[in-house]
């Protein structure tokens, strides 16, 4: 059986504890960890700089850095730090986020998010891959170059994607599509064909489809639903996600809660061996890489240890 290509979502409000968790994952041989960035949560880009300085092998990735609050030139300068501390170990995932956050929290207008994302990535690509950019668009006008003597690190730049248009854009210009809370059949039947279409139109290699998969170590389905429902509740209230769930055949309930059938489709649960088998099935079906999010059911410490052991074993192909 082929090795599992998977990373673990790391989250937490205590930076020291989160850093320690990344170090443990590196020591166990896990190939990749991911973290979201946004709002007033501790900044994962900053945390990853510390993690790269304290680890030897593990890759780190943002899923995602919202584009509207952070100028691409400023983000490129941050990426240079991580590229220097951990060459080849940092992936910079970016995306537009959502109107309740961008307009409601930051007070920034959010118009034409895919157009904004395309321009943002163009500026980042120019700096981090070519070393310079001279770009004038609707949202950005940037003329900048890396300092003399600094080589462009060619940091991989995946983008967030939910609907077919975003997956098509990912295939056209990015280094991967980062899905979030998307049912696997939707990824296989809608997302991947759209990415292939975008890559073919651009005449470029197909980038990886990275599938976010909530995972719960537990065999009691009702307990798993009860544990995951509050973690995913907000997605039923976000218009972008409501549209994606409808496209996938799982419209949200009238009160914007997620139906049981959707939760059962999204969450992989069972014993560690059962979870491993299902993750391999998802990969074999065509999801190129998995972004595993832990869902604790009854005993967080034991469940986290069991999941980490399983992922380390399966990613090593043993």
Q: What DSSP string describes 140-173?
A: -EEEEEPPTT---------EE--SHHHHHHHHHH
- What pLDDT does residue 39 have? 85
- What pLDDT does residue 7 have? 98
Contact 258, 233 (CB under 8 A): yes
pTM summary value: 0.96
- What pLDDT does residue 47 have? 97
- What pLDDT does residue 38 have? 82
Mean pLDDT of successive 10-residue stretches along the chain, which has 318 residues: 94 93 96 92 96 97 97 98 98 94 94 96 98 98 97 98 96 98 97 98 97 97 96 93 95 97 97 98 98 96 96 92
Contact 210, 179 (CB under 8 A): yes
- What pLDDT does residue 127 have? 98
- What pLDDT does residue 194 have? 98
- What pLDDT does residue 283 have? 98
- What pLDDT does residue 30 have? 96
Q: Name residue, tokens 């074999």.
A: 284
Q: pLDDT tens digit string along 170-191?
A: 999 999 999 999 999 999 999 9
Domains within the chain, CATH numbers bracketed: 1-157 (3.20.20.30)
Of 239, 294, 242, 288, the closest CA to residue 272 belongs to 294
Alpha helix ranges (H) inside the chain: 15-28, 44-54, 72-85, 99-102, 113-125, 164-173, 184-186, 192-202, 221-232, 239-247, 260-266, 272-285, 300-316
Q: What is the distance between the alpha carbons of residues 57 and 42, in angstroms, rounded to a whole number?
A: 23
Q: How crowded is the C-beta side of 197, counted as CA atoms within 13 Å?
A: 12
DSSP three-state, residue 248: coil
- What pLDDT does residue 259 have? 97
Query: Which residues partner with 135 through β-bridges?
Result: 142
Cβ neighbour number for residue 124 with a 10 Å cutoff: 22
């Amino acid at each position: 059986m082929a090795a599992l290509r998977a990373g673990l979502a790391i989250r937490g409000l205590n930076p020291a504890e989160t850093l320690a968790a990344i170090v443990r994952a590196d020591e166990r041989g896990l190939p990749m960890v991911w973290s979201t960035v946004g709002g007033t949560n501790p900044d994962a880009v900053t945390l990853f700089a510390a993690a790269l300085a304290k680890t030897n092998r593990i890759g780190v990735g943002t899923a995602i850095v919202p584009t509207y609050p952070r100028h691409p030139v400023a983000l490129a300068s941050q990426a240079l730090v991580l590229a220097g501390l951990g060459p080849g170990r940092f992936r910079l995932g970016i995306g537009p986020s959502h109107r309740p956050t961008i307009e409601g929290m930051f007070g920034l207008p959010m118009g034409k998010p895919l157009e904004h994302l395309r321009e943002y990535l163009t500026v980042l690509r120019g700096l981090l891959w070519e070393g310079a950019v001279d770009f004038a668009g609707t949202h950005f006008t940037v003329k900048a170059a890396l300092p003399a003597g600094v080589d462009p690190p060619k940091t991989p730049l995946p983008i967030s994607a939910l609907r077919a248009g975003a997956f098509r854009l990912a295939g056209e210009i990015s280094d991967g599509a980062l899905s979030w809370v998307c049912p696997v059949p939707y990824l296989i039947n809608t997302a991947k064909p759209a990415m292939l279409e975008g890559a073919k139109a651009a005449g470029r290699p197909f980038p990886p489809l990275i599938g976010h998969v909530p995972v719960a170590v537990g065999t009691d389905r009702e307990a798993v639903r009860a544990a995951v429902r509050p973690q995913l509740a907000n997605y039923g209230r976000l218009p972008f996600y409501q549209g994606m769930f409808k496209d996938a055949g799982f419209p949200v309930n009238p009160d914007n809660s997620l139906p049981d059938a959707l939760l059962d489709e999204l969450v992989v649960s069972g014993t560690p061996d059962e979870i491993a088998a299902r993750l391999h099935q998802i990969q074999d079906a065509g999801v190129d890489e998995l972004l595993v999010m832990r869902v604790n059911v009854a005993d967080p410490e034991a469940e986290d240890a069991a999941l980490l052991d399983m992922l380390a074993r399966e990613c090593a192909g043993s």
